[in-house]
Amino acid sequence: MPTAVGRTCWVIAEGYIPGNSHGTEPQMTSHETACILNASPTDAHIRITLYFSDRDPVGPYRITVPALRTHHVRFNDLDDPAPVPRDTDYASIIDSDVPVVVQHTRLDSRQSELALLSTVAFPA
Amino acid sequence: MPTAVGRTCWVIAEGYIPGNSHGTEPQMTSHETACILNASPTDAHIRITLYFSDRDPVGPYRITVPALRTHHVRFNDLDDPAPVPRDTDYASIIDSDVPVVVQHTRLDSRQSELALLSTVAFPA
Amino acid sequence: MPTAVGRTCWVIAEGYIPGNSHGTEPQMTSHETACILNASPTDAHIRITLYFSDRDPVGPYRITVPALRTHHVRFNDLDDPAPVPRDTDYASIIDSDVPVVVQHTRLDSRQSELALLSTVAFPA
Amino acid sequence: MPTAVGRTCWVIAEGYIPGNSHGTEPQMTSHETACILNASPTDAHIRITLYFSDRDPVGPYRITVPALRTHHVRFNDLDDPAPVPRDTDYASIIDSDVPVVVQHTRLDSRQSELALLSTVAFPA
């Protein structure tokens, strides 16, 4: 089993939380997730910075992903220093003090049937 | 916070804007997007060149992404030097004078329920 | 024809098997797949380790992908040392003794119409 | 405009052409595509080799992508040396004599509403 895999800086250029949803909360709520894996033996201290089209960057949002754990961060739930606006284009940079791996996923339930997208983030 | 992340040349080999749509415009209009993040302290001057299966390349389309901003470029909206044809295979190369990150997304609403795809573009 | 392409360690940071499904089994059952290609002339001995948000890693799951073959591993079917829990966030690291290529796909049929996502895994 | 971008060997580990479809042919037929961009000033001679789970590799399929053109290859249409079986797991390696970029897309219309997936292929 590897002791630390990944990189310390990741970029998700596509960000957008649809403002409405169909179906049972919270599973079917339209949401965006940054899935972070910390396979190292050390806790990872993560800082997320959000970028917008028409205002200054917001952040850092601080999250700890314990050693040997994964954490699927819902952007919908971020609220310190500010909640993430809905129906708004954004992008994010995710920094970590130990190597991690980041994958980006969106569930869009604006219509009655859901749609999904996912991609590994860009390792900067 | 990093001062400049990414690359200066990106490729999206898959391009296709569906010619019809269901649902409320403009959110639910079938569209393709190049989500560009410029996390540098300098404005990014972007040039997009489109490639087709049966005609010469078209471009460059010129876009400025300000310092510390993201811009989600809808290919549907490009019109200088020419609009992007619908229901037509294309590909694109995106050049920048400062490092940026590019992610490609399509929303397809040809049927009553939308479908999504996304991938980080190829850093050339 | 190349004799061996890829890497020996891959990461899928996003993992989630939806707990319910619509449609004909097994094709339309909600599932996650790690598609592994072994284009080398030697059998690949694969070890998959699963990471969770609230418990220790589980594994290795052991799989052999023969020389010059692809194997689309359904996480739903893994059961030794333990089945993969449904409706639970996880991540996975996939190690091989010869270079392989790994792509991650999910089919989500919780609603009556399916949704798909896919991305090449992260080559660590 | 760059004169040649990309790589000469690409891998798509996930392959699967659904055996049935809903909707208007050929746009809504379930299909898999390798979108290839040749941004070089020289024609690209492409060889595609298919890998299966239970039989020897098949190929090469030969395709020419002209200089400064994109070609979206439908796996459904490949038939020399043999058609691609439906409802069957496969993988593919795409070789070129000049650098190209490859992106993989599937449209799945087995149910009445389509689903999409896409990812940049793995540059080997």
Closest CA to C38 of C8, C75, C81: C8
User: A109 or D41: whose pLDDT is higher?
Assistant: D41
Cα angle for residues A98, A100, A103 (degrees, 5° grid): 155
pLDDT at C2: 52
How long is chain D? 124
Q: What is the 3-state secondary structure (H, E, C) of chain A?
A: CCCCCCEEEEEEEEECCCCCCCCCCCCCCCEEEEEEEECCCCCEEEEEEEEECCCCCEEEEEEEECCCEEEEEEHHHCCCCCCCCCCCCEEEEEEEEEEEEEEEEEEECCCCCCEEEEEECEEC
B14-39: string of b/e by CB count within 10 Å (b at 16+)?
bbbbbeebeeeeeeebbbbbbbbbbb
Report pLDDT digits (tens) over C84-118: 999 999 999 999 999 999 999 888 877 777 778 88
D115 to A119: CB separation less than 8 angstroms, yes or no = no
Q: Which fold has domain C7-123?
A: Hypothetical Protein Tm1070; Chain: A (2.60.290)
For chain B, the chains sharing at least 3 beta-carbon pairs closer than 8 angstroms are A, C, D
Query: How many Å apart are CA B19 and CA B110, to the nearest integer?
Result: 8
Is A12 touching C (CB cutoff 8 A)?
Answer: no
CA distances from D40 to B96, B120, D7, D44, D96 (A): 19, 22, 11, 8, 12
**With a cut of 50, which residues of chain A have pLDDT below it?**
1
- pTM score, two decimals? 0.93
Report pLDDT digits (tens) over C5-61: 999 999 999 998 888 777 777 877 888 899 999 999 999 999 999 999 999 999 999
Domains of chain B, by residue range, sit at: 7-123
Is B97 touching D (CB cutoff 8 A)?
Answer: no
Q: Which residues of B touch A106 (CB under 8 A)?
A: 116, 118
Rounded to the nearest angstrom, the minimum Cα separation between A43 and chain B is 20
CB atoms within 10 A of CB D94: 25
Q: Which residues of A touch B119 (CB under 8 A)?
A: 119
pLDDT at D31: 85
Rounded to the nearest angstrom, the minimum Cα separation between B54 and chain A is 30
Query: How many Å apart are CA B122 and CA B118, to the nearest integer?
Result: 12
Is B113 touching C (CB cutoff 8 A)?
Answer: yes
Is D113 touching A (CB cutoff 8 A)?
Answer: yes
Mean pLDDT of D20-40: 86
Q: Which residues of B touch A122 (CB under 8 A)?
A: 6, 101, 103, 120, 123
Nearest CB partner across the interface for C119, out of B113, B115, B119: B119
